[in-house]
Amino acid sequence: IAFQTEYFQIPVVTRAYTTACVLTTAAVQLEVITPFQLYFNPDLIIRRYQIWRVITSFLFFGSLGFSFLFNIIFLYRYCRMLEEGSFRGRTADFVFMFLFGGIVMSLFGLFANIFFLGQAFIIMLVYVWSRRHPLIRMNLFGLLNFQAPFLPWVLMGFSLLLGNSIVVDLLGEKRLCKIWFSFFLCRRMMFDQPEDPDYRPLPRQDEDLQDDEQQN
């Protein structure tokens, strides 16, 4: 019961995405599905209508192990902090950022030849959070102190030391400026309507009744 209560206290977007990633990895681990059914393949998406690959390529982080735990912890931590902080009460905006970022990453994934985009998406979330909190001091394993905006680059260096490719990290970082600019530009165009200088609000009904009483 305590776990259930804690689980449903997680913000809805973070809860849904984290759960989907864990269930996808569990299904692969139990051999219910295989990674070949999940990876990003434009030919199969377009020609064989395997549309689910657009989504599942963001849900799989490899088999159970250190890499999976590392990615899930960062996903849960920074996704939740964004949803409870910068996007508190703005779930629609948060979902819009997810969709827009996912679409842009998928497009660049075509040229970078990346099969699974989940790690790049996590780097995107970390990047957004770090830029929204530039004054926070971070500490890596008690060895390295730095400001929050440098966190994505520190993670990229850590990934490089482990012998991993940094193409995915760069995909999640370098495109964020354009994503954020487009995100706020589209949001302003859709939701922030310019004021009309000739607009005059209609009188309220109670004001009309008061005027009538004064005249009588």
List the one residue out of 200, 162, 78 whose CA is nearest residue 127: 78
**What is each CA distance from 165 to 26, 109, 214, in whole angstroms?**
25, 14, 78
Q: Does this model's pTM top 0.85?
A: no
**What is each CA distance from 164 to 119, 158, 159, 190, in whole angstroms?**
12, 9, 5, 40
CA angle 77, 83, 88 (to 5 degrees): 145
Q: pLDDT digits over 7-33, tens only?
A: 888 999 999 999 999 999 999 989 898
Domains and CATH numbers, the chain: 1-190 (1.20.1540)
Residue found under tokens 């929050």: 148
The yes-or-no verdict on residue 163 having pLDDT over 80 is no
Q: pLDDT digits over 32-86, tens only?
A: 989 898 888 888 888 888 999 999 999 988 777 777 888 888 899 989 999 998 8
Q: How far is CA 10 from the centre of its chain?
A: 15
Amino acid code (one letter) for 104: V
**How deeply is 1 buried, as exposed, middle or buried, from its count of CB atoms within 10 A (0-12, 13-18, 19+)?**
exposed
Please state, in angstroms and rounded to a whole number, the distance separating the CA atoms of residues 38 and 184: 31
Task: Collapse the DSSP code of 41 into the 3-class scheme (helix H, G, I; strand E, B; otherwise coil) and give the result.
Answer: coil
Contact 56, 50 (CB under 8 A): no
Q: Give percent above pLDDT 90 in the chain.
A: 16
pLDDT at 20: 94
Q: pLDDT digits over 110-146, tens only?
A: 777 778 888 888 888 888 888 888 888 887 767 778 8
